[in-house]
């Protein structure tokens, strides 16, 4: 059972260091992909320039016999005729070689639009992870929230799985997933939802820290919900409402339009000796009367992060 103590400074430091290393690896992967995409875009631009130049030789290519090594034409772009040349492969027809230049330019131009979008997405993800690296330099940060923000920003590149700050029980070690599901709230806030009754206990007693916010659908059977918080911080109102929606949705009150949701700092939640899995007692609870919003709920469910 949780002793009520904060994770040790060594645990926090190890988790911070692991997160920092994962950020470095993810940013490096994004930078390599961005460089490859820029190379593709450069090839497309070069092919476009070559095709524009090749158009000047269409007439001379049509009259050139097979075996021609150089096409010559006049370029009027500067206002006066300037002779220009294009070397050819004498084993192929001149018109055939120009057609190949035009086909390559069209093919690369088709992919260029997709490449530009991929580059924009990669640069956005890289910038987002670099911002997290700057946030990590602060003295007091919630690593769990930064981890879920990293997964949300760059799920393809950020592969560091969020782990509890304290040692997991034998039961959780035996499972393939952590004892909670993870959703992304406002400003990238992590919201953790227990998977079942036994893992509600694991989330509340072994993962959540005393300062974190704990929520549950009042007088209904359902999931425990935890919002990780920084030391001395309070839960933003928008995140509180989002977490309350998840508490209501993952409970037997799912079909109700209005649900009362209990919330309190985790330090005021305790488990009576010998009680059934998922059963806890809450001291100093507050109650939020939640009027469910369908669009908000849909957006939250779509924000789930694979763990």
pLDDT score, position 7:
52
What's the pTM?
A: 0.54
Q: Is the pLDDT of residue 306 over 90?
A: no
pLDDT, tens digit (0-9, with 9 covering 90-100), for 246-292: 999 999 999 999 999 999 999 999 999 999 999 999 999 999 999 99
pLDDT digits (tens, 9 = 90+) for 12-41: 778 888 888 889 889 998 999 999 999 999
Domains of the chain, residue spans? 1-66+92-159, 161-302
Given this model, what pLDDT does residue 6 score? 52
Write a three-state SS string for the chain. Answer: CCCCCCCCHHHHHHHHHHHHHHHHHHHHHHHHHHHHHHHHHHHHHHHHHHHHHHHHHHHHHHHCCCCCCEEEEEECCCCCCEEEEEECCCCCCHHHHHHHHHHHHHHHHHHHHHHHHHHHHHHHHHHHHHHHHHHHCCCCCCHHHHHHHHHHHCCCCCCCCCCCCCCCCHHHHHCCCCCEEEEECHHHCEEEEECCHHHHHHHHHHHCCCCCEEEEECCCCECCEEECCCCCCCCCHHHHHHHHHHHHHCECCCCCCEEEEEEEEHHHEECCCCCCCCCCEECCCEEEEEECCHHHHHHHHHCCECC
pLDDT, residue 157, reads 81
Chain segment 220-241, per-residue pLDDT in tens:
999 999 999 888 889 999 999 9
């Amino acid at each position: 059972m949780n002793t009520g103590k904060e994770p040790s400074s060594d645990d926090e430091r190890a988790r911070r260091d692991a997160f920092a290393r994962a950020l470095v690896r993810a940013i490096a992967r994004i930078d390599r992909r961005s460089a490859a995409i820029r190379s593709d875009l450069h090839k497309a631009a070069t092919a476009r320039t070559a095709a524009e130049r090749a158009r000047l030789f269409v007439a001379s290519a049509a009259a050139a016999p097979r075996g021609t090594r150089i096409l010559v034409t006049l370029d009027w772009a500067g206002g006066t005729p300037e002779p220009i040349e294009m070397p050819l492969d004498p084993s192929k027809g001149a018109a055939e070689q120009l057609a190949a230049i035009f086909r390559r330019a069209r093919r690369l131009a088709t992919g260029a639009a997709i490449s530009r979008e991929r580059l924009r997405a990669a640069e956005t993800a890289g910038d987002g992870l670099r911002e997290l690296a700057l946030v990590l330099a602060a003295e007091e940060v919630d690593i769990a929230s930064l981890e879920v923000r990293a997964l949300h920003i760059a799920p393809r590149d950020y592969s560091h799985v969020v782990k509890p700050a304290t040692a997991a029980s034998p039961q959780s070690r035996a499972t393939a997933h952590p004892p909670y599901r993870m959703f992304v709230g406002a400003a990238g806030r992590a919201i953790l939802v227990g998977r079942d009754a036994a893992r509600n206990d694991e989330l509340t007693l072994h993962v959540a820290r005393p300062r974190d916010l704990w929520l549950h659908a009042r007088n209904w059977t359902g999931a425990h919900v935890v919002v990780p918080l920084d030391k001395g911080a309070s839960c933003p109102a928008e995140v509180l409402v989002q977490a309350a929606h998840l508490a209501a949705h993952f409970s037997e009150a799912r079909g109700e339009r209005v649900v009362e949701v209990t919330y309190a700092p985790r330090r005021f939640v305790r488990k009576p000796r010998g009680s059934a899995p998922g059963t806890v007692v809450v001291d100093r609870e507050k109650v939020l009367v939640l009027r469910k919003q369908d669009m908000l709920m849909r957006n939250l469910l779509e924000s789930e992060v694979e763990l």
